[in-house]
Amino acid sequence: MTTKKATKKASSTAGTPRRPANGETATQAHLRVRMYRQGLGDCFLITLPGDDGPFYMVIDCGVVLGTDASGIQKLHDAVDDISQVTGGQIDLLVVTHEHWDHVSGFTQAKDAIAKWKVAQVWTAWTEDPKDSLANKLRAERKKTEDALRLAVNRLNEVGAMDQALRVSGLVDFMGATSGSTATALDYAKGLAGKNLRFCQPGDPPIALPELSGVRFYVLGPPKDETLLHKSDPSKGTAYGLDDGSVPSNAMFLSALNRSASPDGVVGDSSLDNPFESRFQIPFGRAQRVPFFQRHYFGDLEDNSLTDLKTSMAIRDQSWRRIDGTWLDTSETLALALDAATNNTSLVLAIEMVDTGEILLFPGDAQAGNWLSWQDLKWTEKGSDGKDVVTTGPDLLARTVFYKVGHHGSHNATLSQKGLELMTRDELIAMIPVDHAMAVKKRWGKMPLPELVDRLNEKAHGRVLRIDDAATTPAQLQAARPAAITAQDWAAFTGRVAITSLYFELSF
């Protein structure tokens, strides 16, 4: 998308200059990124140097479904910490997408968040109730979530317990089983009243009146259904992964479409049989058909087999039945739905105007979202009156901070059209991941080891993770990677504040 509009000044209702608990004044305000360590989920507080004092920006607030009581308490502690640092005044709240691990705090810590004074809220165009494509995507999501919940029940009924657990885990990750993900997102969207912005990719760079040294570029999500549904990278475009193409869900979706009521509601009987009635033989009737009696249910013709176990094994033909086999695609469908929702993530590149440096916050954007940035262009007039063109790859090349997408999963950081374009030597990364929790959820490669290795190479070891063992400055200093000099590591750790609740990086 190309635009020739001038830089856009967005309205704000931030109010009078603040003097929060830390006593920071306008002249003292500087850029900081605080990543909370509440568990597997995203919660960030960004402090920007505003014209009248620090400008406070919160991006997401959540933790994955199934987090234990201590993790939930940490989420509450994070919200309380945000309240203390900001004095309860949030200049900008960004909610990237509708997943429980990004929005649960707006339900779980609602009482504390209700005390915030939020000036404005930004989310993606996919949440706009007036956008026809957004409405279509939401309707498809709701229908598929209903089907997956019923599929879990059917998988349990036919004894496919392991698969039921995997599908259930994926649905839990989306928060679909909780029934409150949409409620949490809606609450967050309403925190600033009418000051709600649905961000479009390629919008003119957004400049806020009280934040003259900073601009925001909106990179995603794309307004392209094909890219929104492209979750896995093509061969050779990611780390440690071949082509991620998946089998068709046609049978599952066909059964779903045949059984849904006119208003799209899926009934309890919808997943009983994937086949049309003309292709079915009721089980009781099949037992009386000579062909099936002879080959499936009849007596053994080989009377020489007298061993009871052998006889029963031959008589038992249950292994031939496909009652639940067709449900195998439900896992693929759950993965596709999860990825499609991730691809609706709002992606922001925060630019420091004086230096041109970029802080990249991609939410959980996956392959299609990343690919769409390659074609984005912003055209503005320079001080000499000539056109100055900025592209998506230009922003990646100027990135000095990268919030790693989707907890470091395989399809949320492209290689040649992503991380490899981040060529600044100052690059630092944060990964909001808890690997132990990911393993409990059966996502053993979250984060992907190959990606973590490359991040450490690109960022010279300056990669911070929620699940790092270090909780004190001394422990962080002692965790110096072997390939990093003591001097370089000390220069980095001197910019990091660390507690058991957060990492905070200063610029």
What DSSP letter does each residue of 139-206 carry, written as one string?
Answer: HHHHHHHHHHHHHHHHHHHTT-HHHHHHHHHHHHHHTGGGT-HHHHHHHHHTTTTT-EEEE-TTPPPE
Share of the chain above pLDDT 90, in %: 54
Q: Where are the domains of the chain?
A: 2-131+173-243+337-506, 250-336
Cis check for the bond before 221: say yes or no (omega within 30 of 0). yes
Helix (H, G, I), strand (E, B) or coil at 398: coil
- Distance, in Å, from the CA atom of 77 to the CA atom of 500, rounded to the nearest integer, reads 11
- Provide the pLDDT confidence category of residue 132 given band limits of 50, 70 and 90: very high
User: Which of 241-245, 347-351, 482-486, 487-491 is predicted least confidently?
Assistant: 241-245
3-state secondary structure 204-245: CCEECCCCCCEEEEEEECCCCHHHHCCCCCCCCCCCCCCCCC
**Most confident stretch, 11-15, 292-296, 401-405, 442-446:** 401-405
Identify which has the larger pLDDT, 8 or 421: 421
The residue among 347, 343, 128, 376 whose CA lies nearest residue 229 is 343
pLDDT at 317: 59
* pLDDT value of residue 280: 67
Q: What is the pLDDT of residue 316?
A: 58
Q: What is the mean pLDDT of residues 433-460?
A: 91
What's the whole-model pTM score?
A: 0.79
| Cβ neighbours for 229, distance < 8 A, ≥ 6 positions apart | 336, 340, 343, 368
pLDDT per position as a tens digit, 189-230 = 999 999 999 999 989 999 999 999 999 999 999 999 899 888
Task: Please give the mean pLDDT across all residues of the chain.
Answer: 81
Predicted pLDDT at 247: 43
Please provide the CATH number assigned to the domain covering 2-131+173-243+337-506: 3.60.15
